[in-house]
Amino acid sequence: MTAPAAVTLDGVRRTFPDGTEAVRSVSLTIDEGDYVAVAGPSGSGKSTLLNIVSLLATPDAGNVIIRGTKTACMSDADRARLRARTFSFVFQSFHLVDHLSAYENVQLGLTLSARPDVDPKIALEQVGLAHRMHALPREMSGGERQRTAIARALARDTPIVICDEPTGSLDSESTEMVLDLLDVVHRAGRTLLVVTHDHYVMSRSQRLLKLRDGSVDFGASR
């Protein structure tokens, strides 16, 4: 029996109150283990589409199917539970708690995902930050903060990782290090969706989705 796709969107549409069609009847499939870059100009619908995929937003029409589970008729509580066990997030702005150390930030992510038994040190070792685990975010470089955020995603061990401009605030050396770590995450069998404007980041993915005016351009090249 064929395993279900990681994500299936079936005729998904989202219109803002001012009448703007942020997502226009998008249908697509992202298979388990895919490494997908999502690109497009500002206002193309990238963030809205990713919010729908990760169950942070509900479409006005269509269905979102996550690993075989249809979400259209789910309660908010059930959607939240599915999101917590399915998705990890890595953001451009890191989203670390300023007064917590790298170790404590990873630990907090584990607590919120009901995995308090996992040792954050293991994930920090995986990203080369065992020696910085007691450092506060303000004491770390941008690359170290992003690696801490990736350690948090690694520790949570969810099947899908969504990265929103993960290298947007980094220099070229830190960008290379972060992309190498995302390769490690992908090789571990996890599905990656990476929103980016960076052509080099796009080139590291297996597949490219280009959005324009809320629609996916399936004929787009890298």
Note the pLDDT of residue 103. 96
Note the pLDDT of residue 114. 61
The CATH number of the domain covering residues in 7-213: 3.40.50.300
Note the pLDDT of residue 105. 94
pLDDT in tens, the chain (222 residues): 677 899 999 999 999 999 889 999 999 999 999 999 999 988 898 989 999 999 999 999 999 999 999 999 999 999 999 998 899 998 888 889 999 999 999 998 887 666 667 789 998 998 999 999 999 999 999 999 999 999 998 888 899 999 988 888 888 988 998 899 999 999 989 999 999 989 999 999 999 999 998 998 865 555
pTM: 0.88
- Look up residue 98 and give its amino acid: D
Note the pLDDT of residue 117. 73
Note the pLDDT of residue 190. 94
Note the pLDDT of residue 218. 66
Question: Hey, what are 70's tokens?
Answer: 């249809």
Cβ partners under 8 Å of residue 60, min gap 6: 13, 14, 15
